[in-house]
A and B are shown apart, each in its own frame.
Chain A
Amino acid sequence: MSGNRSAPAAPTAALLMLADGRFPAGGHAHSGGLEAAVAAGRVVDTTTLEAFLRGRAATSGATAAAFAAAACTAAGSGSAKTADTGRTAELDTEYEARTPAPALRAASRKLGRQLLRAARTIRPAPALDALAAALPAGPHQPVALGTVAHTLGLGPHAAAAAALHDAVTGPATAAVRLLGLDPFAVHAVLARLAPELDRLADAADAHAAGTPAHALAAPAAPLLDIFAEHHATWEVRLFAS
């Protein structure tokens, strides 16, 4: 009604669906390193959980957000029928370089394949077929997320926001299940994190278009990498990563 035609309101319903923990792309079985952090005694309560989540958002979350935003822009930059898969493949390679732990590479590609498989039924689109064809082993999760976001009519900021939401809500839910933390207290942590997640999404969005893939964000969390490698060798684990 307020009718500024050049800046329509950002779509909200599709973003809520994509970011919803109930979206069936297999994320519920991944703890984002939390299961290993709990076993190492690093996360024991909501205070240590908050520190873990802040660290995760600022490192692997920020990197995932940067690549989701860039992949979203790339998916919209090709012709009407096909996405710019050259740029997308480049993003995938650069994300791989930012993911040194083999266990996390495997987890990311698995989650990317699962998201792409779900999305191809939920909202079939040529850009998704092109992504599957360009990366037969499966795209990394943030690359898949950005492309799927585009096919749902979302922009790079929304893609980044979804990546950051995913980066903290997965481990937060895992903490409720593994440690029996009060879910209200855990969501109080998430509420306190919200402004920081928005700021990180803004930063990711700012580099979604013009920045060469190799120059995108690369903050790393070596401890998460080490945790992931330990976790992958466990005989008994409840979460896939």
Chain B
Amino acid sequence: MRPDHDDPETQQAHSHPLPGRNAGRLARIPGRPLRIGLGGPVGSGKTALVAALCRSLAGEVRLAVVTNDIYTTEDADFLLRNGVLPTERVRAVETGCCPHTAIRDDISANLEAVEDLEHSLPPLDLVLIESGGDNLTATFSHGLVHHQIFVIDVSGGDKVPRKGGPGVTSSDLLVINKTDLAGQVNADLAVMARDAEDKRGDLPVRFLSLVEDPQAHDITAWVRERLGEDG
């Protein structure tokens, strides 16, 4: 129940000089974990990516996961069933039919879950917060996460990057998932790459197929880079 972004000195020391995109960023607090949000539409593969990141990082990073799936324990169970993380490292947050509210407008239940994990476990380096499946306008509050990954997939149609929305345009990393299905759904990856770059400028985009790359090497590398930054 402590406020976690109230230290003006920390805020000052870490605040970004660039206006706009980085305005209002949550400052890292020494001794507290990095928080990365994973959002995106229903079925785009958020939970599978979280599981892959847990497997890839398990030996090197002390991590925990908060899930916001509307079916409460479903995603948590998936992580537990796959032996990715022990029970005590996964918290499920109920969102009262409004998954976007819980990660953006009223982040209290998620902050509570993060603090609960921090209190009940040895020191953590990383907390992954997975949103419930929502629509293209759902993004994480800068009060909840330090960075956010937006996950879309080719079977949603190759027009999705062109449609934009804050997840596509301003997330710190855009993941275009299930590239192994592109041929079957007539999705043109080149079109998706071009549209994504058009919407995102120099913000990174990564293609992913967990069938071909179960360790999600590129995404894991991006997370490692964020962990290596100051904090």
Cα A103 to Cα B74 in complex, Å, equals: 21
Cα A26 to Cα B71 in complex, Å, equals: 18
Do B72 and A236 touch (CB < 8 A)? Answer: yes
Asked whether A117 and B106 contact (CB < 8 A) given A29-B94, A30-B96, the answer is no
Do A113 and B96 touch (CB < 8 A)? Answer: no
Stretch in B36-44, B108-116, B169-177 with 4+ CB within 8 Å of A: B108-116
Do B70 and A116 touch (CB < 8 A)? Answer: no
The residue of chain B having its C-beta at the shortest distance from the C-beta of A31 within the complex is B96
List residues of chain A with CB within 8 A of the CB of B93: 29, 240
Cα A29 to Cα B6 in complex, Å, equals: 25
Cα A23 to Cα B97 in complex, Å, equals: 17
> Does B13 have its Cβ within 8 Å of any Cβ on chain A?
no
Greatest chain A CB density within 10 A among B6, B93, B96, B101 is at B96
> Does A177 have its Cβ within 8 Å of any Cβ on chain B?
yes
Q: In residues 102-151 of chain B, which contact A (Cβ within 8 Å)? A: 102, 105-109, 111-112, 115
Do B94 and A240 touch (CB < 8 A)? Answer: yes
Do B94 and A26 touch (CB < 8 A)? Answer: no
Do B105 and A238 touch (CB < 8 A)? Answer: no
Cα A147 to Cα B108 in complex, Å, equals: 18
List residues of chain A with CB within 8 A of the CB of B6: 120-121, 124
Do B96 and A110 touch (CB < 8 A)? Answer: no
Do B96 and A239 touch (CB < 8 A)? Answer: yes
Cα A236 to Cα B107 in complex, Å, equals: 21
> Does A118 have its Cβ within 8 Å of any Cβ on chain B?
yes
Question: How near does chain A come to B8, taking the closest CB pair, in angstroms?
Answer: 11
Q: Is the interface of B mostly helix, strand, loop or mixed?
A: loop
Cα A240 to Cα B106 in complex, Å, equals: 14
> Does B73 have its Cβ within 8 Å of any Cβ on chain A?
yes
Encoded as 1 (CB less than 8 Å from any A CB) or 0, chain B from 74 to 116 comes to 1000000000000000000111111001100111110110010
The 8 Å CB contact of B96, one of A28, A112, A138, A236, is A28
Greatest chain B CB density within 10 A among A27, A28, A124, A177 is at A28
> Does B190 have its Cβ within 8 Å of any Cβ on chain A?
no
Asked whether A24 and B108 contact (CB < 8 A) given A121-B6, A132-B1, A238-B70, the answer is yes
Asked whether A238 and B108 contact (CB < 8 A) given A117-B1, A120-B1, the answer is no
Asked whether A132 and B109 contact (CB < 8 A) given A238-B70, A238-B96, A238-B97, the answer is no
Encoded as 1 (CB less than 8 Å from any B CB) or 0, chain A from 133 to 158 comes to 00000100000000000000000000
Asked whether A28 and B3 contact (CB < 8 A) given A117-B108, A118-B108, A237-B72, the answer is no
> Does A22 have its Cβ within 8 Å of any Cβ on chain B?
yes
Do A120 and B102 touch (CB < 8 A)? Answer: no
List residues of chain A with CB within 8 A of the CB of B108: 24-26, 114-115, 117-118
Q: In residues 99-120 of chain A, which contact B (Cβ within 8 Å)? A: 110, 112-118, 120
List residues of chain B with CB within 8 A of the CB of A138: 1
Cα A235 to Cα B92 in complex, Å, equals: 12
List residues of chain A with CB within 8 A of the CB of B112: 26, 110, 113-114, 117
26 residue pairs A–B, Cβ–Cβ below 8 Å: A22-B105, A24-B108, A25-B106, A26-B112, A28-B98, A28-B101, A28-B102, A29-B93, A29-B98, A31-B96, A110-B112, A114-B109, A114-B112, A117-B3, A120-B1, A121-B6, A124-B6, A138-B1, A174-B96, A177-B96, A235-B72, A236-B71, A237-B72, A238-B70, A238-B95, A239-B97
The chain B residues found within 8 Å of chain A, CB to CB, are 1-3, 5-6, 70-74, 93-98, 101-102, 105-109, 111-112, 115
The chain A residues found within 8 Å of chain B, CB to CB, are 22-31, 110, 112-118, 120-121, 124, 132, 138, 174, 177-178, 235-240
Query: A-B pairs with the 7 shortest C-beta distances?
Result: A26-B108, A29-B96, A114-B108, A240-B94, A113-B1, A121-B3, A24-B106
